[in-house]
A and B are shown apart, each in its own frame.
Chain A
């Protein structure tokens, strides 16, 4: 609490450091009590600050959903695309402006249901961008429908007796599609999330960070898992850190163990490099490599 003693502090500390990266005129945000999305924004803000990037050269792209709101709350060049189309928009942005750092920040439904095809192809081509997925294992914004990430037996409005759809294991999907950097953490692991985002942003090529996050209003309530804090304690007790784990082995069961860590970190030629090399080989001197 602010008392006599703290009255001596200088002004910058009186302000929450995340605020410099937020559009404060849009606060308070829409997220429910105990929702993890806001916590991921703190980590993203710290990671960006520590990366010491020129913020005029950072662009953030979201799709639709509760997580999709992030682009609108960050005080960066940002675009809130239609549902599922964050990655194709980001691809165009990167190709036209190769010196921009592009971050796609969206939900599991947006990125892996309607947007799933875009994800695998951007990873396959190694388009230079970072994709951050807040995975709350459900469609939050539209009322709790089962997503391609919902664990078997978990309930959603579209599966009132529990889902029997085998879900995607996102790190495995990213790895096998060609992503050069793949990590998974939960919202409990705030320092690891911050570090992973920093590394993913620094990585040249397609990088992917999955953040398992509580949706107390829909996922937890329908599955009788308590509130946001209960889910956070669950993550703390049931996560196992396995850096370098084989991504095949990190699939998630309903309320089972969560394997977290940095799973993949490798260099591949980026899409633009491949294009420039190939066309230089074909056309020789006639071709001027594309630098933006």
Chain B
């Protein structure tokens, strides 16, 4: 049972589309979107915000400091 709600902030300009965040998100909350940034990299997005626990692992993996996740509220 999920007890917390999380989210991510993505700095699209910094992303290089490596997909580390997508692959290693423990709840599969992310995917690579159809959007490209100015440098031509495909950027990730939350598929389903409800899945994100704000664990922060995506931010720990991102080699370009382009994403980070955090808890926004406790879910009763």
Interface residue ranges of A215-250 to B (CB < 8 Å) = 227-229, 232-233
Whether the pair B23, A233 counts as a contact (CB closer than 8 A) is: yes
* Chain A interface category by residue count: 35 or more
Binding site for A on B (CB under 8 A): 7-11, 14, 16-20, 23-24, 41, 45-46, 49, 57, 59-65, 67-68, 70, 72
Question: Which residues from A are CB-within-8-Å of B57?
Answer: 190
- Per-position contact with B for A1-22: 1 when CB-CB < 8 Å, else 0? 1110110110001101111001
Task: Determine how close the nearest CB of chain A comes to the CB of B27; give it in whole angstroms.
Answer: 15
Whether a CB of chain B sits under 8 angstroms from the CB of A39 is: yes
A227 and B60 alpha carbons, distance in the complex (Å): 19
A-B contact pairs, 17 of them (CB 8 A): A1-B10, A1-B49, A2-B7, A17-B59, A18-B68, A22-B65, A29-B64, A34-B16, A34-B18, A34-B63, A36-B63, A38-B63, A42-B63, A190-B61, A191-B60, A228-B18, A229-B20
Q: Assess the B62–A39 pair: CB atoms within 8 A.
A: yes
6 nearest A-B residue pairs (beta carbon): A38-B63, A33-B16, A16-B68, A34-B18, A190-B60, A13-B70
Asked if A35 and B7 sit within 8 Å, CB to CB, the answer is no
A46 interface residue per 8 A CB criterion:
yes
Q: Interface residues of A: mostly helix, strand, loop or mixed?
A: helix
Q: Judging by beta carbons under 8 Å apart, are A18 and B7 in contact?
A: no
Tell me, in angstroms, the Cα distance from A218 to B63 when the chains sit together: 17
Which single member of B20, B65, B72 contacts A16 (CB below 8 Å)?
B65
Find the A residue at minimum CB distance from B22: A229
Q: How far is the CA of A180 from the CA of B14 in the complex (A)?
A: 39
Q: Complex Cα distance A41/B60, Å?
A: 9
Cβ-defined contact, B72 with A9, below 8 A: yes
Shortest distance from the beta carbon of A142 to any chain B beta carbon, whole Å:
21
A292 at the interface (CB under 8 A from B): no
B45 A33 Cβ-Cβ under 8 A: no
User: In the complex, which of the residues B18, B49, B64 contacts A28, with contact meaning CB atoms closer than 8 Å?
Assistant: B64
- Contact residue among A27, A39, A42, A232 (Cβ-Cβ distance under 8 Å from B14): A27
A122 within 8 A of B: no
B9 touching A33, Cβ below 8 Å = no
Q: Closest A-chain residue to B15, C-beta based? A: A33
A19 to B41: give the CA distance in the assembly, Å.
Answer: 22
Pair B65/A18 contact, Cβ less than 8 Å: yes
A9 to B9, CA, bound (A): 11
